[in-house]
Amino acid sequence: MGSVKAEPFETQRLYLEPLTEQHAERLVGVLSDPALHRFIEGKPDTLDELRARYRRMAAGPPNPRISWCNWAVLWKPEREPIGTLQATVVNRGDELVGEIAGVIGTAWQNKGVAREMTHGLISWMSEKGVARIIAHVHPEHGASSAVVAALGLATTPVRVDGEVEWELKLD
């Protein structure tokens, strides 16, 4: 089992392309709403902070057993940026485990986008040989809990930084 690298993929309404520093300028406005930080603390990044973050992410982790896969989420056909999606894939020797997370701009919420992009990501990860999917969701974040539950993830007794761990075992 080798490392996994982000590749472009599509869903019915979305195009997901590997995230680069160049996406920062187009995404900074989408991600600028403080409401997006309600459950994750902090504040929106400035353009320079977002560029630096995306540059670090594109460089990848120092551990060769870990892959950082990050995407810009774009609305078809205009390829308008609406959010980001990420998967940290860990090669545990006997299996690949993927931890997923994403954010959709406020204007695009409640349209089924989060479910669609997450379903697409799970399918993509399954094709790459990922055996388990993990997501950490704030216990009060009902929308995110509904998305992962609808896609077959189930809660576990594990809590990480106050968040509920959800898991899906892939065949």
Residues 138-156 have a mean pLDDT of 95
Residue 107 has pLDDT above 50, yes or no: yes
pLDDT at site 100: 97
Residues 139-161 have a mean pLDDT of 95
Between 113-127 and 142-150, two packed helices, what is the crossing angle to 10 degrees?
Answer: 40
* Sheet strands (E) in the chain: 9-10, 14-18, 66-75, 80-91, 96-104, 130-137, 154-160, 163-169
The percent of residues above 90 in pLDDT, for the chain, comes to 90
Q: What are phi and psi of 45, to 5 degrees?
A: -75, 145
pLDDT at site 21: 96
pLDDT at site 77: 84
Residue 140 has pLDDT above 50, yes or no: yes
**One-letter-per-residue 3-state SS of 118-144:** HHHHHHHHHHCCEEEEEEEECCCCHHH
- Report residue 48 as tokens: 């320079």
- 1 pLDDT band (50/70/90 cuts)? very low
Distances (CA, A) of 171 to 61, 69, 126, 149, 155: 27, 21, 8, 18, 18
The tens digit of pLDDT for each residue in 9-46 reads 999 999 999 999 999 999 999 999 989 888 877 899 99
The tens digit of pLDDT for each residue in 3-14 reads 799 999 999 999
Class level of CATH domain 9-169: alpha beta
Q: Rounded mean pLDDT of the chain?
A: 94
Residue 2 has pLDDT above 80, yes or no: no
- Please indicate, yes or no, whether the overall pTM of this predicted structure exceeds 0.95: no
- 81 pLDDT band (50/70/90 cuts)? very high
